[in-house]
Copies of this chain bind each other. A is one copy, B any other.
């Protein structure tokens, strides 16, 4: 057993870990980077990038299927599964390759391979080969898929995220377990690429939408295209020579069963804290999460910092990146820390139409404190032009000061509209100011303006800010 001493030990070389590392380097301190698996971030290797590549292919397929509307006919569409996945894999490998290379370019002596476990606040043991003494420790071990117990028996036959991208051909039938972000993105894509897809959910929740109006519209629109089995409880999953046999109970406790070629598990990802022996520092995993400070990434006043999916705060790339930086900076400053204000929350689901959450979600707000502005995309001008006229957006304004505080979207290009709204929320823009901003014609952003006008009309009647001469806003 070797013993090493360093200023900052970083467990995990994903997005959060690498960002932490850069901050430690900037501070001129020594570091050790511990990784138990392959180099390369989850996002590039198995998460955001490859899923967007599959979605891009699915969109092309969908465009061809609906070209008739525009007077264009392409009848003999064929999808070459091998080519589809080859593009996904080669682009993914290219993206991931940059990360791997930049990690491997760092001195080998500072990169330790193996599983780290805590011995005490300042000591880690890596496998059975190395003891590390560190002034402070950054935990950036990411998350791992949660697999429902009913599937334990057939674990090896399940598709879990990245397994999808290793396929050489499409399954004929696919059960998607879970209707969260990943399930919807991959499931809808595979459906549009010709896979007969069935979605199972214990509830009827789609992605992370909390606004009942937006959520109900999303269910209505997506149910026309996709086959959802909501409020179902999978009781058995067995493998046979003809496929995987699923049994489930519906909301009325009636049992059903069906055979599927493949099962995609997308029931969420859980933090990996439990593998780190945090009992050694006197904390349960639950306590670590409770004592974790999102503005310093520190756990209580310990020399321990958590960043990214391991923190379980917001499992989103740009948040992991921020948390890594915050953790690295403060691990270097320890015992001092600097609190850093977090960005306005922004979460996007790349379905079609897309979903997005901006700022405060509807569920986080008190109805009595806000007015809601609404705009339908079912008949929105530009959306009609593009034959993508489906959806709704709702924006939330604080009654006291007329500022925009949040929004939930289910619309074409919600990803772009959500950035516009998130920047406005972070700027504490009032609804009146937002209506003074330029909006071109014909664009999808005009729907945002419709929602702004809607909420302004309501604020006129009830808001404390009604004394402002709202009638003069040029957007009206």
User: Given A60-B70, A474-B340, A419 and B445 touching (CB < 8 A)?
Assistant: yes
Known: A60-B70, A64-B72, A80-B71. A318 touches B387 (CB 8 A): no
- Decide yes or no: A437 and B441 within 8 Å by CB, A67-B64, A91-B384 being known contacts: no
Contact mask for chain A residues 424-464; partner B; CB cutoff 8 A; 1 contact, 0 none:
10110100010011111111110000000000000000000
- Which residues of B sit under 8 angstroms from A57, Cβ to Cβ? 70-72
B residues in contact with A81, CB < 8 Å: 71
Q: What CA separation (Å) do A321 and B82 show in the bound complex?
A: 52
A347 to B441, CA, bound (A): 10
B56 in contact with A71 (CB, 8 Å): no
Which B residues are in CB contact (< 8 Å) with A86? 71
- Which residue of B has the minimal Cβ distance to A356? B440
The answer to whether A467 has its CB under 8 Å from any CB of chain B is no
Contact B427 A52 (CB under 8 A): no
Q: A63-B60, A79-B72, A386-B56 are in contact. Are A49 and B442 (CB under 8 A)?
A: yes
Q: Verify B95–A70 contact, CB threshold 8 A.
A: no
User: Which single residue of chain B is at the shortest CB-CB distance from A86?
Assistant: B71
Whether the Cβ atoms of A318 and B440 lie closer than 8 Å is yes
Question: Nearest Cβ distance between residue A133 and chain B, in whole angstroms?
Answer: 30
Known: A420-B423, A426-B438. A87 touches B74 (CB 8 A): no
* Residues of chain B with a CB closer than 8 A to A348's CB: 440, 443
Of the residues B71, B318, B415, B437, contact of A343 by C-beta under 8 Å: B437
Q: How many copies does the complex hold?
A: 2
Which residues does chain B contribute within 8 Å of A415, judged by CB atoms? 440, 443
Interchain CB contact (< 8 A) of A71 among B84, B321, B340: B84
User: How close is A297's CB to chain B, nearest CB, in angstroms?
Assistant: 13
CA separation between A321 and B322, bound complex, in Å? 42
Give the shortest distance, in Å, between A19 (CB) and chain B (any CB).
Answer: 10
Known: A63-B60, A419-B440, A423-B420. A72 touches B84 (CB 8 A): yes
Bound Cα distance from A316 to B440, whole angstroms = 8
A343 near B436: Cβ-Cβ < 8 Å: yes
Cα A112 to Cα B467 with chains together (Å): 39
Using an 8 Å CB-CB cutoff, how does the interface string of A233-269 with B read, 1 for contact, 0 for none? 0000000000000000000000000000000000000
Decide yes or no whether A115 CB sits under 8 A from chain B: no
Q: Mark A57-96, 1 if CB is under 8 A from B, else 0.
A: 1001101100101111111111111111111000100010
A-B pairs, top 10 by smallest CB distance, nearest first, are: A71-B83, A71-B84, A416-B416, A74-B74, A343-B438, A57-B70, A317-B441, A346-B438, A74-B77, A423-B437
Interface residues of A (CB under 8 A from B): 43, 48-49, 52-53, 56-57, 60-61, 63-64, 67, 69-87, 91, 95, 316-318, 321-322, 325, 340, 343-348, 381-382, 384-387, 413, 415-420, 422-424, 426-427, 429, 433, 436-445, 474
A-B contact pairs, 11 of them (CB 8 A): A60-B67, A69-B87, A70-B87, A71-B85, A72-B77, A91-B385, A318-B438, A416-B443, A419-B440, A419-B443, A426-B437
6 more CB-based (< 8 A) A-B contacts, given A73-B79, A426-B436:
A52-B382, A64-B72, A70-B83, A422-B438, A423-B437, A427-B427
